[in-house]
Structure 1
């Protein structure tokens, strides 16, 4: 039996490490999993001046990742997809969490023939011409808890910057509430040490390019997280509704997990099962 190749793309501030709890379950379900570190994340992260030592300097320093664009994200995803396809995998199951949704859409627009199915995990799935940042600010995302964590306006420093190493218990509690309110103390502490501070501002401000004939031709699914406080459930539902109106002959398959924004940590087994169900 040939394994189904699945390519997993993390969201903002995360890295490929976040998928590790899910990998054993994916292997048991017969997947061949590959992960991507988006530019400016994971081992490619660089840190602004003052990080961990001088909060005021940290808040004001220009981001070392100010030059990263959506094109860089897209190419990083396609590099892994291309390698898998070249090795004989056939079209892949491409999964993206949160911000990675914009890279999924761009990759599918570029190379729809290499993707068997797109899976958006509590992810941004913008419509053509609309940048991700417009959805962050929309009415359906009211009550989200992420933007209030930024240490400075993103246009000012070139990044969405969060201080995950803060010693302030109240600030750390807000981070946990926003991203992973359903994980235990030890898991949250581990995550906080792996999350990196800067997400480049340019990719989230780039207008989405998606056409019915390319992105819209790829089967897609959306995994809703009903306890999400980063991408609110109402916004997740808007993404699904708008996508289905854009491609009425290719509607979104929908599953729901009773999870926070971090189901790869809080319920990795259930997430692996959901991905197996969607792979058919």
Structure 2
């Protein structure tokens, strides 16, 4: 499960590594993502920034419930062919957690890679907590297009040439990558993301989510999901289900480095596949 503004394209290098290790994998595009995303002519060069701020997007109105329904359908198909390990990254953890609450029978292990698994608070509330104090909340705002309330979605101009915005994005996502790697990854992002990140009803539930064996892969140098927050989510999950604690692994690198240099992550996932 991909993070915000991302899609299945960013998982291609990881899937190649997994395939070379002998593992099948599926990268899931949720509604309004991948080839179903909106790339308007206003987004193309030369950009029409006024038009970009106003053009409708296909992801408007997509809810977390829509994402969960879509993911469950994929899990049902995958489960027919053997054990299923559900891997999520960043914002994708919200959908993964809600799906695990609804259908734990479809998941043999759930893996969070610097990913949201809300337990004590709703996702939005965590941003006011001390663990998120180091996050540059203005990074996306530097390239925001349009009013989310009017558009019914979040829209960011990832094709901006503004040096300040690009520097903020690189610091947040890939401070340990080259400029070439950063720009290549930035061009896989789609401009629109849905607004719904769930409510208290979508937090991890002990009776369902808590039955699934789970792993948390910490990203040691992540500026978007600080290590302090990752560790807090691990502690809260372990408190919720002390009889089924997280299996914790750690990878060096930033929020996106594990996808650009996927061999270490593929080895970890291969080890986890041997456990199911």
The TM-score, its normalising length taken from structure 2, stands at 0.89
Structure 2: unaligned runs, 5 residues or longer: none
1:247 lines up with 2:241 in the alignment: yes
CA-atom RMSD in angstroms: 2.1
Aligned-pair distance for 1:49? 8.0
Single out whichever of 100-109 and 71-80 deviates more from structure 2: 71-80
1:67 lines up with 2:61 in the alignment: yes
Kindly indicate whether the alpha-carbon contact (under 8 Å) linking 1:259 and 1:266 is maintained by their aligned counterparts in 2.
no
Higher strand share: 1
Kindly indicate whether the alpha-carbon contact (under 8 Å) linking 2:109 and 2:213 is maintained by their aligned counterparts in 1.
yes
Equivalent of 1:218, from 212, 215, 224? 212
Kindly indicate whether the alpha-carbon contact (under 8 Å) linking 2:220 and 2:251 is maintained by their aligned counterparts in 1.
yes
Single out whichever of 139-148 and 176-185 deviates more from structure 2: 139-148
CA distance in 1, matches of 2:213, 2:272: 10
CA distance in 2, matches of 1:158, 1:205: 15
Q: Tell me what 1:143 maps to.
A: 134
Structure 1: unaligned runs, 5 residues or longer: 1-8
User: For 1:36-77, what per-residue CA distance to the aligned partner results, in whole angstroms no more than 9, with x for missing partners?
Assistant: 011222111114684342324434556542200001111221
Q: 1:139 to 1:153 in 2, by over 3 A?
A: farther
Q: 1:253 to 1:147 in 2, by over 3 A?
A: farther
Aligned-pair distance for 1:245? 0.6
Q: Tell me what 2:199 maps to.
A: 206
Q: Tell me what 1:80 maps to.
A: 74
Q: 1:265 to 1:135 in 2, by over 3 A?
A: same
- Aligned-partner SS, 1:96: strand
The TM-score, its normalising length taken from structure 1, stands at 0.88
Q: Tell me what 1:238 maps to.
A: 232
